[in-house]
Homo-oligomer: A and B are copies of this chain.
Amino acid sequence: MRIEWPDPEGQEIVERLFAVAVALRVHFEETAADVGLTVPQAHTLIHLQEPQRMGEVAAYLRCEPSHVTAIADSLERCGLLRREPDPEDRRAKRLLLTSSGQQLRDRLVARLFESAPIISVLDADQRIELLSLLRTAQSAAGSDIRH
């Protein structure tokens, strides 16, 4: 990013974290495309390990509910999920994966994690160290996956 900054060490951390973010994003896009999904479709599929109400999916994706309708339409057309009425609230619908949706989700998740950039280079000790730092850093802030 090449940025001037009074605290060069803090700067480098942010730059490198941005680079991590980019690498993960590209990794996600490529993996989704590999299994024939767009990015929002892949995010939705990943989130549907258990059936979820559409509004809940919209909150997860940080988008308008109307957009979830469109994503669900496309995934339903592909036979990857079904809508079912929510037994607790007849206004709401729950999205749930079909068996082929479940299979595709498994493949997607496996590929996403098996070749994730960055961590593969670290040895066991370094991983533990990194994990501990990430836990500390994130203990305050809460966040979700997003495209």
Contact = CB atoms under 8 A, between A and B. Distances in A.
B144 A22 contact: yes
Contacts of A20: 17, 20-21, 134, 137-138
A1 interface: yes
Interface in A108-147: 109, 112-113, 116-119, 121-122, 126-131, 133-141, 143-146
Interface in A2-49: 2-5, 9-14, 16-26, 28, 46-47, 49
A131 B3 contact: no
Given A113-B3, A126-B133, A143 B14 contact: no
State the number of copies, please.
2
A26 to B, nearest CB: 7
Given A10-B119, A109-B3, A117-B141, A25 B21 contact: yes
Question: SS class of chain A's interface: helix, strand, loop or mixed?
Answer: helix
A20 to B, nearest CB: 6
A109 to B, nearest CB: 5
Contacts of A138: 16, 19-20, 118
Contacts of A129: 129, 133
A88 to B, nearest CB: 21
Contacts of A23: 141, 143
B145 A18 contact: yes
Question: Closest 6 interchain pairs by CB?
Answer: A21-B21, A16-B134, A118-B137, A22-B146, A21-B24, A14-B116
